[in-house]
Structure 1
Amino acid sequence: MSFYRKLALYSDQEIPANEEMDDRLLRLIGRPQPRIGYIPATSDLERAYFQRKADYYAGIGANLAVYVDPSQETSEAEWKTLLSCDAIHLSGGNTFSFLSWLQRQNVLPILTRYVSEGGVLIGVSAGAILMTPSVDSALLCGDVRDEPLIDHAGLGLVDFHFWPHFNSDSVTRDQLRLSSTIPDLYACPDGAGIVIDGNEVELFGQVHRYDFGEIRPTSHED
C-alpha cells in the first residue's frame, strides 16, 4: 500500500478482553476525545445499535458523533461531516449486504481516500472483513449472500483476510474446507483483533494465522 494506514480490525468489541486494543486505538487516533463517525451494515432508524455503540465509545473517552443510514439518501454535506471525523466505524452485520450497499453508493473509493488522507478506519466483524482484499471469509462466520454483488472485492487496505468470531474448539469441517481456499487468513476470537499502523501489523489476543488451510506462525511466534 502506497500510503500510511491507520486501521483497527476487531472480531467483537464490547467485551473486557478488548481493553488493551481499545487503548491502542485511542493512541492510533492520537487526539483527546476523538470524534467518530458511524456507518452501519443495515438500517438502524431507531438508533438502538448506534446508541449502544455511542455508550461504548463514551466509556473509553471517544465521541460517536455522526451517523449515516444505508436506507436513506445521504447528502454531500452529510458525507463531508462524516469524513471530517477523526475515525470512522464500520459496524458488524451481514458482510455481503453491507458491501452491496457500499458498492451501490460508490462509498469504497471514498473510504480509501479517507484512509489515505490520515483518517482512522475501525471495523468490527463485517466492518473488519470489508478492509481485506475480498469478503469471501464472511462465509466462515455464517454470513449469507442475500444480495447481488458487483464483485466480492473489499477495500484491499490490508493484504490478508479476516475471520472474526473464531473458536478453535468448534471449527466445522465446512469451515476447514472453505478456509483452505483463502490465503493469508487471520482468525480472531472475540476479544482479539489487529491494528495496522503504517506497515506495522499488531496482533491483540490469541490470533491464529492460516494460509490455504495450513497453520502459519503469527508475528508473535516468529
Structure 2
Amino acid sequence: MHLALLSNAETPNGKAAIGQLLSRCNLQSSAGAYIGSEPAPQEIFFTQTKNIYASIGYQLDLYLDFEDGFCIDVFHQALSKPFIHLSGGNTFRFLNAMNQRNVANALINYTAQGGLLIGVSAGAMLLTPSIITANLCGDPNDVGIENLQALNLTSFLFAPH
C-alpha cells in the first residue's frame, strides 16, 4: 500500500514529497487522476495541481469529483491509473459525497492492489480512520454527516495545517 498525507502540495517540501514518492514506486505510467473534494466548474484547483505535477515530471490527465463531475466510467478509469490525487477542500463534504457514491471499498481495493493515493488536506484526512480532526482545520459540517468513518488506510488521525 502506498499513501501520502500532505497538508499542502504547493510548497517546495510538498512538491518534493510527491516527487520522491512517485519516483520510488516504479509506476507503469507518469499520468494519474485527480479527484476533487467538490465540483469546480472552471477546474481552477485541478489546473493548479496539474501544474504542480508537471513541475516534477508527472501528469494528471483525468478529473472527476463525487458530485456534479461524477461518472462511474471515469471513476473506473481513475482506478486504472498508478496514482490518484485526492484534493483539499471541505472534508465533511468530500466524505459525504464519497459515501453517497459508495466508492470507499473501490478506493481501499485500489491501494491493496498497489495503487498510490496522494491526499492533500481533506484528501489526506479521508485516508485515516476518521475525519474527526476536520473540525480542527475549520471545516464546517454543512452537509450534516454523522458517521465520520473514513477509508481507514492508516492507524492514525491526521490534522493538516
SS in structure 2 of the partner of residue 164 of structure 1: coil
TM-score by length of 2: 0.93
**Which residue identity is paired with 2:141?**
R
TM-score by length of 1: 0.68
| Percentage of identical aligned residues | 38
SS in structure 1 of the partner of residue 65 of structure 2: coil
- 1:80 matches 2:76: yes
CA distance in 2, matches of 1:73, 1:46: 12
CA RMSD of aligned residues (A): 1.6
Native 8 Å contact 2:62 2:78 kept in 1:
yes
**Which residue identity is paired with 1:25?**
L
* Aligned twin of 1:116: 112
CA distance in 2, matches of 1:120, 1:39: 13
Native 8 Å contact 2:88 2:122 kept in 1:
yes
* Aligned twin of 2:22: 26
- Alpha carbons of 1:49 and 1:76: their partners in 2 closer, same or farther (altered >3 Å)? same
* Aligned twin of 1:195: none
- What residue ranges of structure 1 are gaps of 5+ in the alignment? 166-222
- Alpha carbons of 1:41 and 1:19: their partners in 2 closer, same or farther (altered >3 Å)? closer
Native 8 Å contact 1:33 1:61 kept in 2:
no
Native 8 Å contact 1:37 1:85 kept in 2:
yes
Alpha-carbon distance, 1:161 to partner: 0.5
CA distance in 1, matches of 2:55, 2:127: 26
- 1:92 matches 2:88: yes
Q: How does 1:129-140 map to 2 (within 5 A)?
A: 129-140=125-136
Moved over 4 A (4+): none
CA distance in 1, matches of 2:131, 2:15: 27
The structure in which a higher percent of residues are strand is 1
- Alpha carbons of 1:20 and 1:104: their partners in 2 closer, same or farther (altered >3 Å)? same
- 1:36 matches 2:32: yes
- Alpha carbons of 1:79 and 1:8: their partners in 2 closer, same or farther (altered >3 Å)? same
SS in structure 2 of the partner of residue 115 of structure 1: helix
Alpha-carbon distance, 1:72 to partner: 2.3
Which one of 22, 45, 52 corresponds to residue 49 of structure 1?
A: 45
Instruction: Name which one, 1 or 2, has greater alpha-carbon Rg.
Output: 1
